[in-house]
Structure 1
């Protein structure tokens, strides 16, 4: 018993130490964004001056990021959900090859994907100068994170049985897909949607190569603020970034917990 308690406290201390090591820099950055003078610290007083300055100078980058993330979600839903359905119903080496090709952008550095897009479409001036060019890169990067969770749900035997039962009752393919497949795959669709939005808002490497001076997303603006502005302004920008990202990450975790509880709950008799 004494050894178990000692092991528990040792693990607890280690976990708290790691958490402090990771969270203390984040906390200091947030504090720097709401203090009048970072070098003096909280003693200099708290203020939202730097936050308002960021919103005034970089609001276009925030709105562009949110717009691209929303468009990226729509495109990945339109492509990823039907694609996951096809892969779930396709057996054999062909389906596995397609699945691996979809996941391939995760293994390739974002800079390499961006360079490939520039080499291929960089000569199309109107496309290169438009925000849809960045959207194309984001879709390539985030599509696997939509397909994988949806595919995991659609590949379950229970969903196949429900669809077969609906087909035996005379339901058309459209009726089965809209009324059986999509409602039962909503957990995977929601998880994929949250991941796509989160990754699109925070994506930097790929966007750094694709952006132009007139098209700066939130992470690009954050890097720009750290390079050219006061540390307080950059920290306030980081605070705004956290305010957008943290709720999405929390939603992913909450949904994962609710899904886990629902799976372990015994079925009603």
Structure 2
């Protein structure tokens, strides 16, 4: 006797739902465990113990009881304020601010360069189009390889903030190009352009006020991917950066290597929350839409 279609359908849905739940649980379990461990006093056995403490977060966020403890975590003075005969020193996460700026700089370069490349490849047929498409994804190589090549090609940019920004943009450009190109290919570009031009819009105005806003989903997705990967890029940062304020990836590596696991968990959890916050912010921009006014 063959099972009824409704029974097979319910069984299939249950299997799919169970598989999806197991996959999601497997993926997020390390993140949840890391966040939980950041509120533990120690982890010497199978599970962390000594809940609930905020000392790990106080240390990572620069709120430790002593300036020495704060500086040992790699934080720098923001300002000093005289207070009742004493000096209040406020320390800030220099690595955090530095890395956010570097990653945003890389994303801006990806937007300025990657969006036009994606548009040209999706919109036009021209000699060498396949070569352009292939070259745009060449940087999909390990960061250590690109780091060595970058140092040889641009030695003057080594150990500079601008060098890191350019390197991040090179490493993550393929993700921007692929995300935006996919969005452009799903759009009736020719019809949109002809409609805008028939209303008297110039090509730059058509591109900036019609084409780009309609591709915002792909642009926002590419920006999220590029920012998150650039902020966490370790291999390229390790090869290129020499001294001064460290990128966040090197900051995290130092804590993972030299601190207790619970403090390292707090540092990693901080990065998780930053990624979530930036992702939600960029998604909000995508939902609300954006427009770029051109002449």
User: What TM-score bracket applies, with the shorter chain setting the length?
Assistant: 0.7 to 0.9
* Larger mean Cα displacement after TM superposition, 97-106 or 56-65: 56-65
Provide, for residues 211-256 of structure 1, a one-character-per-residue CA deviation record: whole Å limited to 9, x for no partner: 2232421122111111111112111101101101234456788999
One of 264, 272, 275 as aligned partner of 1:242: 272
One of 119, 131, 149 as aligned partner of 1:116: 149
- After TM superposition, the structure 1 = structure 2 runs for residues 25-174 of structure 1, keeping only pairs within 5 Å, are 25-39=30-44, 44-56=50-62, 57-58=73-74, 59-106=93-140, 108-122=141-155, 124=156, 127-156=157-186, 158-174=188-204
Q: Distance in 2 between matches of 1:44 and 1:3?
A: 49
Conservation of the 8 A alpha-carbon contact between 1:159 and 1:184: no
Q: Which TM-score applies when normalising by structure 2?
A: 0.75
Provide, for residues 34-86 of structure 1, a one-character-per-residue CA deviation record: whole Å limited to 9, x for no partner: 11222376652312211121122242221111011111121111112222233
Aligned to 1:22: 27
Question: Secondary structure of the equivalent of 2:236?
Answer: helix
More strand by share: 2
Q: Distance in 2 between matches of 1:14 and 1:83?
A: 39
Q: Highest relative contact order (Cα 8 Å, sep 6+), 1 or 2?
A: 1
Provide, for residues 132-169 of structure 1, a one-character-per-residue CA deviation record: whole Å limited to 9, x for no partner: 11111110011122222222333445232121122234
Structure 1: give runs of 5+ residues left out of the alignment: 259-269
Root-mean-square deviation (Å): 2.7
- After TM superposition, the structure 1 = structure 2 runs for residues 226-241 of structure 1, keeping only pairs within 5 Å, are 226-241=256-271
Aligned to 1:179: 209
Aligned to 2:67: none
Q: Distance in 2 between matches of 1:188 and 1:20?
A: 27
Q: Which TM-score applies when normalising by structure 1?
A: 0.82
Conservation of the 8 A alpha-carbon contact between 1:191 and 1:255: no
Check 1:43–1:179 CA distance in 2 against 1; reply closer, same or farther (3 A cut).
Answer: closer
Conservation of the 8 A alpha-carbon contact between 2:172 and 2:230: yes
Q: Distance in 2 between matches of 1:137 and 1:249?
A: 22
